[in-house]
Amino acid sequence: MRREWFKFALYALIVLLAPLCVNGGYLLNVLVFVGINTLLAVGLNLLLGFAGQISLGQAAFYGLGAYGSGVLTASYGWNPWLALVAAALTVGVLAFAIGFPILKLKGHYLAMATLGFGIIVFIVFNEYVDITGGPSGLPGIPNLTAAGMTFDSDLKNFYLIWAVVLTVVLLAINLVHSRIGRALRAIHDSEVAARVLGVNARLLKVQIFTCSAVISCIAGSLYAHTVTFISPASFGFHFSIELLTMVIIGGLGSIYGSCLGAALLTLLPEMLRTFQDYDIVVYGFLLVAMTMFLPGGLVQGGGLLLSQLKRLWPGRGGNNA
Amino acid sequence: MLEVRDITCVFGGLVALDRVSFTAQRGEITGVIGPNGAGKTTLFNIVSGIYQRTAGSIVFGDLDVSGLPPERLARHGLVRTFQNIELFGQMTVLENVMVGLHTKSTSGLLACALRLPWQRREEKKIRSRARELLDYVGIPDLADQSAASLPFGQGRLLEIARALALEPQLLSMDEPAAGLNSRETWQLGELIRRIRQDGVTVLLVEHDMELVMDVCDRIIVLNLGQKLAEGTPRQIQENRAVIAAYLGEG
Ligand SMILES: Nc1ncnc2c1ncn2[C@@H]1O[C@H](COP(=O)(O)OP(=O)(O)OP(=O)(O)O)[C@@H](O)[C@H]1O
Ligand SMILES: [Mg+2]
């Protein structure tokens, strides 16, 4: 656990110093979105990397959070924090309820079912024009406020959102190093063996599915209050796939891997702007190269590299003569 | 202790088990033997709730446990090991045993995420108990190795340690000696006896006749899904039908 604290402190330090490195402006805005995507990736990784259950509908929970908060505050004048909690609770109940039938499915069938759920929610965002504003979007969502301060600048939003991210990362780290985390990994490796040892696999899968949905939902609420305008396009199928890519690139079953994956896939398109029209080609090339040469994800790849370097270093790492 | 009554199991057109009945007495080691495909693993799969029986019932203690799911049976004290070892390959040896202690701990998802004080105390207890169990089966030095890297024999021992973590009343082992050399098999025999001495009833499927005849109190013989014979090791060795079945005459 000491090592875990060290890693977390290092990560928190990097996060806190990041705004100084980009000295405001456009990149700071991007870092806010890195935070939101980190939340989403960590949430998905709990489900996919630890319990081994796929979800192609994460964008739907994200969208439900955004629209829940957006509609309740912009159209009904709710307090944003109250709206956030209400949305999270509702999505929690919803995910728990659909989790039981959906998570009975395995593999491709589970992928299809969650995909279907995502598409249905996407259609609802588009078609219920009276409530959601339809394809043209929902404007006029207020910023969050706390203790008389309004989170209306990138810097303020940066600290707000990253405070949430660091909290969620810490909770996730605690969880995966506990009996629940072990039971999840056991289900991933051999569900039958886990059940024979008394692990209630069905309930646990639904619980972690619910957690990951609620995390996505909170990310959605934060997103809505940051950008103040939302439209269905942000919550479509392609975004679920993007999240999946973040988690896989960072490394399944590694919380910091998801942090890295989210950061990379959010920053990369910005960096690749210099390639102008060719950015999509470079992006695709990187993806293919990654999955071909580092199938365990960046974090595992980095670990391998480190252990190789240690080996080469003379006079250290004693066990290799 | 465990009473299997007229268990029948049909896969499509294949009758894998045909009205099999027997009783495993408390504190005894009951062997289940039979040629390949006799239905031994199927019987275990039904007793541990992995497969559903077609007909019949299973009574454990004075509880009708027929049709209960594996996780419920485990909590009632019925635990098993697998013919093709089912370890959690991504975890260390110690963590595998810690999963076995899942039902011995209660911290929920929230308590774990928040690392509440009692959860941390519980975690410590789990860890030290898991080490004791590795000690018990004789692999204390392997605690931090990856479970996937274990050779077959030690993998078997780990699976047994993991099952014992639940403090089962009945431990069912499916061919624990398969793939072991003779020294390992002998050690396994000693371990099984020790487990029985500690008050666990044992159900043992095994092809290694020397081991079976050596440790079992009673033996059930299955052939082509039917119970062929039942008795003490001595009676079984002298039973003509059993000898015929093993020589392949049916
Ligand atoms: N899930 C299943 N679906 C269909 N048939 C099955 C299934 N499981 C077992 N069988 C069949 O049931 C019969 C009994 O198989 P079982 O695995 O119980 O034998 P066994 O006695 O354990 O054999 P072995 O000594 O080789 O392990 C076999 O004919 C097998 O093909
Ligand atoms: Mg078998």
Q: What is the mean pLDDT of residues B75-91?
A: 94
φ and ψ of B64, to 5 deg: -80, 110
Does the pLDDT value for residue B219 go beyond 70? yes
The rounded mean pLDDT for chain B is 93
**What does the pLDDT read at residue A230?**
96
Q: Is A195 at the interface with chain B, CB within 8 A?
A: yes
Measure the CA–CA gap between B127 and B95, rounded to whole angstroms: 8
Q: Which of A188, A192, A198 sits opposite B102 (nearest CB)?
A: A198
**Cβ–Cβ below 8 Å for B113 and A194:** no
Which of A201-205, A289-293, B2-6, B44-48 comes out lowest in average pLDDT?
A: A289-293
Measured in Å, residue A105 CA sits from the centre of ligand 1 at: 25
Give tens-digit pLDDT for B85-142.
999 999 999 999 999 999 999 999 999 999 999 999 999 999 999 999 999 999 999 9
Question: In testing the pocket of ligand 1, which one of B14, B80, B85, B209 has its CB within 8 Å of the most ligand atoms?
Answer: B14
Ligand 1 proximity of B118 Cβ (cutoff 6 Å) = no
Q: Which of B86, B109, B165 sits opposite A180 (nearest CB)?
A: B109
**Cβ–Cβ below 8 Å for B70 and A172:** no
Q: What is the mean pLDDT of residues B74-95?
A: 95
pLDDT bin (cut points 50, 70, 90) of residue A136 is very high
**What does the pLDDT read at residue B241?**
84
**Cβ–Cβ below 8 Å for A179 and B126:** yes
- 3-state SS string over B132-193? HHHHHHCCHHHCCCEHHHCCHHHHHHHHHHHHHCCCCCEEEEECCCCCCCHHHHHHHHHHHH
CA angle (A227, A231, A234) in 5-degree steps: 80
**What does the pLDDT read at residue A21?**
84
Does the pLDDT value for residue A280 go beyond 70? no
Does the pLDDT value for residue A153 go beyond 90? no
Contact list, A182 vs chain B (CB under 8 Å): 91, 95, 98-99, 102
Distance from CA of A316 to the nearest CA of B (A): 21
Does the pLDDT value for residue A108 go beyond 50? yes
Measure the CA–CA gap between B228 and B133, rounded to whole angstroms: 37
pLDDT bin (cut points 50, 70, 90) of residue A321 is very low
CATH for B2-87+167-247?
3.40.50.300
- Top pLDDT among A217 and A3 is at A217
Distance from CA of B239 to the nearest CA of A (A): 35
Give tens-digit pLDDT for A51-87.
999 999 999 999 999 999 999 999 999 999 999 999 9
Measure the CA–CA gap between A117 and B10, rounded to whole angstroms: 37
Q: Is A90 at the interface with chain B, CB within 8 A?
A: no
Best A46, A47, A177, A178 member to test B by mutation, with max B CBs in 10 Å, is A178
Question: Are residues B229 and B242 in contact, defined by beta-carbon separation less than 8 angstroms?
Answer: yes
Give tens-digit pLDDT for A190-224.
999 999 999 999 999 999 999 999 999 999 999 99
The rounded mean pLDDT for chain A is 89
Measure the CA–CA gap between B194 and A152, rounded to whole angstroms: 69
- Top pLDDT among A294 and B74 is at B74
Question: Are residues A138 and A132 in contact, defined by beta-carbon separation less than 8 angstroms?
Answer: yes
Question: Are residues A135 and A76 in contact, defined by beta-carbon separation less than 8 angstroms?
Answer: no
Pairs of residues, one from chain A and one from chain B, whose beta carbons lie less than 8 Å apart: 100
Q: How far is CA A14 from the centre of its chain?
A: 19
Pairing assessment for the beta strands A149-150 and B63-64 based on DSSP bridges:
unpaired
- % of chain A surpassing 90 pLDDT: 68
User: What are the domain boundaries of chain A?
Assistant: 2-233
Q: Is A153 helix (H, G, I), strand (E, B) or coil?
A: coil
Q: What's the burial of A283, exposed, middle or buried (CB within 10 Å: 0-12/13-18/19+)?
A: middle
Measure the CA–CA gap between A249 and A261, rounded to whole angstroms: 6
**What does the pLDDT read at residue A320?**
39
User: What are the domain boundaries of chain B?
Assistant: 2-87+167-247, 88-149
| Residue B215: partners with Cβ closer than 8 Å, 6 or more residues away | B29, B31, B189, B192, B193, B204
Question: In testing the pocket of ligand 1, which one of B10, B40, B223 has its CB within 8 Å of the most ligand atoms?
Answer: B40
Question: Are residues B201 and B172 in contact, defined by beta-carbon separation less than 8 angstroms?
Answer: no
Q: Is A291 at the interface with chain B, CB within 8 A?
A: no
Give tens-digit pLDDT for A110-128.
999 999 999 999 999 999 9
Alpha helices in chain A (DSSP H): 2-22, 25-45, 58-70, 80-102, 107-127, 129-132, 154-176, 179-189, 191-196, 201-227, 237-250, 255-271, 279-293, 297-312
Distance from CA of B129 to the nearest CA of A (A): 14
Ligand 1 proximity of B34 Cβ (cutoff 6 Å) = yes
Does the pLDDT value for residue B227 go beyond 60? yes
**What does the pLDDT read at residue A161?**
96
**What does the pLDDT read at residue B250?**
43
On whether ipTM exceeds 0.90, the answer is yes
Q: Percent helix, strand, coil in chain B (nearest 5)?
A: 45, 25, 30
Atom of ligand 1 nearest to the CA of B43: 18
Q: What is the mean pLDDT of residues A154-171?
A: 95
Q: Which of A174, A190, A201 sits opposite B114 (nearest CB)?
A: A174
Contact list, A172 vs chain B (CB under 8 Å): 113
Distance from CA of A201 to the nearest CA of B (A): 8
